[in-house]
């Protein structure tokens, strides 16, 4: 079923190398509540900073976020969230964390901003070549 909300996701055996990881997997964070609800951020590099300041890669306008609140990083073959010394902290599935490895469906709380981590296997369509016999 593809209703835009239901996603079939396999357990990831994540590659250590960013380019290999990116070729096989799409890591996304979705804002669940507030003015930015529904916004999706796709991880385009091995290190991403989330915050409300202009120095963040992913900017979310929310008063409870620090300018550079948290980082998502590819570490030892896993996507990890790391608190960057924020004032209001980070939670994964309701537990306070300084750093934690993420899995598909994890609920993130940065300050009072609710997010969800989504990890999907990329589908690759086979290439088709036309050979002219002329």
Q: Could you report the per-residue pLDDT of 13-46, keeping only the tens digit for each?
A: 545 688 888 888 899 999 998 778 999 999 999 9
Asked if residue 26 lies in contact with residue 120, where contact means CB atoms within 8 angstroms, the answer is yes
Residue 73 lies in a domain: yes
> What's the rounded Cα separation, in Å, for the pair 48 and 56?
8
Tell me the CATH number at 44.
2.60.200.20
What digits encode the pLDDT tens for the residues 85-110? Answer: 999 999 999 999 999 999 999 999 99
C-alpha 89/C-alpha 111 separation (Å) is 6
Residue 133 domain flag: no
Assess if residue 131 is contained within a domain: no
Contact 34, 52 (CB under 8 A): no
Q: Within a domain: residue 13?
A: no
The answer to whether residue 53 sits within a structural domain is yes
Q: What is the pLDDT of residue 131?
A: 76
Domain tally, the chain: 1
Residue 7 inside a domain? The answer is no
Pinpoint the alpha helices (H) of the chain: 18-24
pTM listed for this prediction: 0.79
30 falls within a domain: yes
The domain of 71 spans 18-121
Does residue 77 sit within a domain? yes
């Amino acid at each position: 079923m593809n209703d835009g909300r239901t996603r079939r996701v396999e357990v990831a055996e994540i590659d250590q190398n960013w380019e290999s990881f990116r070729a096989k997997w799409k890591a996304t964070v979705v804002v669940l509540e507030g003015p930015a609800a529904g916004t999706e951020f796709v991880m385009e590099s091995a290190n991403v900073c989330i915050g409300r300041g202009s120095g963040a890669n992913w900017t979310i306008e929310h008063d409870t976020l620090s300018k550079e609140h948290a980082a998502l990083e590819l570490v030892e073959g896993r996507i990890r969230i790391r608190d960057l010394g924020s004032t209001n902290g980070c939670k994964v599935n309701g537990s306070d964390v300084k750093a934690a490895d993420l899995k598909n469906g994890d609920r993130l709380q940065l300050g009072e901003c609710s997010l969800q981590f989504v990890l999907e296997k990329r589908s690759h369509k086979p290439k088709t070549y036309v050979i002219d016999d002329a």
